[in-house]
Chain A
Amino acid sequence: EAGVTQFPSHSVIEKGQTVTLRCDPISGHDNLYWYRRVMGKEIKFLLHFVKESKQDESGMPNNRFLAERTGGTYSTLKVQPAELEDSGVYFCASSQGNTGELFFGEGSRLTVL
């Protein structure tokens, strides 16, 4: 069974540009999460989808970040316009129901120059 897949694995953009990260959760997982790790710091929660609905977006840094999950399958996280402090590794994770293991993707490394 395929795990959580993320694309791109690495993106390098200039300040002010736009980047869209994509996450494909494990098939059948209604719960999808975005987390972010800034260099050397903790992995921080950004938001949680249940199917296509945002359950909790309390971790989103500001309105330059927009997450969507149309149709309740894959999700996108758009950063527009990107700032230097947005650099980091963006992890997507999914789970089946409210209990059980949280499965992570390999992350999308974003570098903003």
Chain B
Amino acid sequence: GENVEQHPSTLSVQEGDSAVIKCTYSDSASNYFPWYKQELGKRPQLIIDIRSNVGEKKDQRIAVTLNKTAKHFSLHITETQPEDSAVYFCAASKGTYKYIFGTGTRLKVLA
């Protein structure tokens, strides 16, 4: 069936360093890739998304890249800060809200 693999499951970085989270999807018909951030005890919130007609998108310190051929997409966070510590989920969708999520990455930014 459709699935999204996400790596790593945990990631620790020093404050100021960059963090990269990678996802691979199985369904080549997927065309929308959102990233959600869930802080401890809070709701998952959309932080950035990308559609299949775009290769890269950036919003301040976060960026997402998409390689349709390889069916890979990645989240890049630069100049990490303690408030970036959270669980990050990638997802893939074929244009509906039936998202296929990855298993999540727990990011810890060490001060």
Residues of A that sit less than 8 Å from B by CB: 3-4, 31, 33, 35, 40-45, 48, 56, 58-59, 91, 93, 95, 98, 101-102, 104-107
Interface string of B93-106 (1 = CB under 8 A from A): 00011111111100
Inter-chain contact A91/B101, CB cutoff 8 Å:
no
Residues of B that sit less than 8 Å from A by CB: 4, 6, 34, 36, 41-46, 89, 91, 96-104
Contacts of B4 in A (CB 8 A): 42
Nearest-neighbor residue (CB-CB) of B49 within chain A? A101
Q: A42-B4, A42-B103, A43-B89 are in contact. Are A106 and B97 (CB under 8 A)?
A: no
Distance to closest chain A CB from B55 (angstroms): 21
- Which of B41, B97, B102, B103 is close to A102, meaning CB atoms less than 8 Å apart? B97
Distance to closest chain A CB from B50 (angstroms): 14
Nearest-neighbor residue (CB-CB) of A6 within chain B? B43
Q: A3-B43, A106-B41 are in contact. Are A95 and B97 (CB under 8 A)?
A: yes
Inter-chain contact B101/A42, CB cutoff 8 Å:
yes
Number of interchain pairs (Cβ within 8 Å):
54
CA distance A105 to B4 in the complex (A): 22
Inter-chain contact A41/B43, CB cutoff 8 Å:
no
Nearest-neighbor residue (CB-CB) of B32 within chain A? A99
Contacts of B41 in A (CB 8 A): 106
Inter-chain contact A4/B97, CB cutoff 8 Å:
no
Nearest-neighbor residue (CB-CB) of A58 within chain B? B98
Inter-chain contact A104/B99, CB cutoff 8 Å:
no
Contacts of B100 in A (CB 8 A): 42, 45
CA distance A78 to B97 in the complex (A): 22
- Which of B6, B98, B101 is close to A48, meaning CB atoms less than 8 Å apart? B98
Contacts of A44 in B (CB 8 A): 101
